[in-house]
């Protein structure tokens, strides 16, 4: 009898320890070192996904309708309140306003997707959600990791990081932080090596900015880099042709509008979100452009 009680107590202790370890793991940040074996960590991640509060996508669009789908591509830069007197203050979106915008989009029925998913919808017929939206973040600011990532993680949404390679390191994003964004489901795309006006470069320099940035990102992070954003939107026929020659599938501009499958893939329009925007004004702009 006493031996059976010892076994029961021992089993209880083991269960308690396992539960404690799993609890520590679930509260740890995404990029913390794993406290449990990989198989268990995977099981925990799946369990957390099953119990997420974000509802699943309802009514996916496929086929010809997906090929014709209008997809707003939102353009963000810094996700922080602009300091007084800073240059280009309109490119700074306060983190709380950003959170309000994301939750408002979700409440209005939007679902964030990657550019690759939009492309697959346009070229292969889906599947796409009923109200897709792409969230792009230009340059590679630290706030993309510290402020945007937690909000999108809450919703189970991906972002698209248009990374200028000179932004990797001090003052921008570290390699570790970029890997954490990729782990969270973000897509990595190119925004050149040094953010120049591409229309002013000779052919050799243009090829380097386009091709070397793509190669560096693919080599360093082990993911495909298929899409491109023109710095400051500056492009012309020569730049668009060089972008296609560098191996990209499509490129986005800063021209205001909603992207569609029948558009020139190397001149896709975006919706720039400014510091003066609110959740309400952003939804109103999207409604106006989608009508």
Model pLDDT, residue 291 = 83
DSSP the chain: -HHHHHHHHHHHHHHHHHHHHHHHHHHS-TTSPPSS-HHHHHHHHHHHHHT-SSPPP-S-B-HHHHHT-EE-EEEE-B-SPPPTT-TTGGGB--HHHHHHHHHHHHHTT-EEE-HHHHHHHHHH---B-SSEEEEEEEE--HHIIIIIHHHHHHHT---EEEE-GGGBSTTSB-HHHHHHHHHTT-EEEE--SS---GGGS-HHHHHIIIIIHHHHHHHHH-S---EEE-GGG---HHHHHHHHHTT-SEEEEEEES-EETTS-TTSEEEEE--TT--HHHHHHHHHHHH-
Model pLDDT, residue 20 = 37
Does the predicted model carry a pTM greater than 0.85? Answer: no
Residues of the chain with pLDDT under 50: 1-59
Model pLDDT, residue 137 = 98
Q: What is the tens place of the pLDDT at every residue in 72-115? A: 999 999 999 999 999 999 999 999 999 999 999 999 999 999 99
Model pLDDT, residue 23 = 33
Model pLDDT, residue 8 = 42
Model pLDDT, residue 222 = 98
Model pLDDT, residue 10 = 45
Domain range annotation of the chain:
2-50, 63-290
- Cβ neighbors of 188 (< 8 A, separation 6 or more) are 161, 163, 178, 181, 182, 217, 221, 223, 225
Q: What is the tens place of the pLDDT at every residue in 109-139? A: 999 999 999 999 999 998 999 999 999 999 9
Model pLDDT, residue 128 = 97
| Percent of the chain residues topping a pLDDT of 90 | 78
Model pLDDT, residue 40 = 28
The fold of the 63-290 domain, in CATH, is TIM Barrel (3.20.20)
């Amino acid at each position: 009898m006493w031996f059976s009680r010892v076994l029961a107590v021992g089993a209880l202790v083991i269960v308690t320890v396992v539960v404690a370890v799993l609890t520590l793991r679930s509260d740890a940040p995404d990029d913390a070192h794993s406290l449990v074996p990989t198989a268990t960590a995977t099981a925990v991640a799946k369990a957390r996904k099953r119990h997420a509060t974000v509802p699943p996508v309802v009514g996916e669009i496929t086929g010809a309708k997906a090929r014709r789908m209008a997809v707003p591509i939102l353009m963000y830069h810094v996700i922080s309140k602009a300091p007084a007197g800073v240059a280009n203050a309109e490119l700074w979106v306060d983190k709380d306003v950003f959170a309000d915008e994301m939750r408002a989009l979700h409440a209005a029925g939007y679902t964030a997707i990657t550019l690759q998913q939009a492309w697959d919808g346009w070229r292969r017929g889906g599947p796409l959600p009923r109200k897709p939206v792409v969230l792009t973040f230009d340059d590679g600011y630290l706030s993309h990791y510290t402020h945007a990532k937690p909000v999108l993680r809450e919703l189970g949404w991906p972002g698209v990081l248009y990374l200028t390679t000179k932004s990797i390191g001090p003052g921008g994003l570290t390699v570790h932080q970029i890997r954490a964004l990729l782990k969270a489901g973000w897509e990595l795309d190119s925004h050149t090596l040094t953010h120049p006006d591409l229309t002013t470069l000779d052919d050799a320099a243009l090829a380097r900015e386009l091709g070397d940035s793509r190669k560096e990102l693919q080599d360093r992070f082990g993911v495909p880099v298929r899409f491109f954003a023109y710095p400051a939107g500056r492009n012309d026929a020569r730049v668009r042709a060089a972008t296609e020659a560098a191996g990209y599938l499509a490129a986005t501009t800063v021209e205001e509008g909603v992207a569609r499958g029948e558009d020139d893939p190397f001149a896709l329009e975006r919706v720039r979100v400014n510091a003066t925007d609110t959740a309400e004004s952003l939804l109103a702009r999207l409604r106006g452009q989608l009508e």
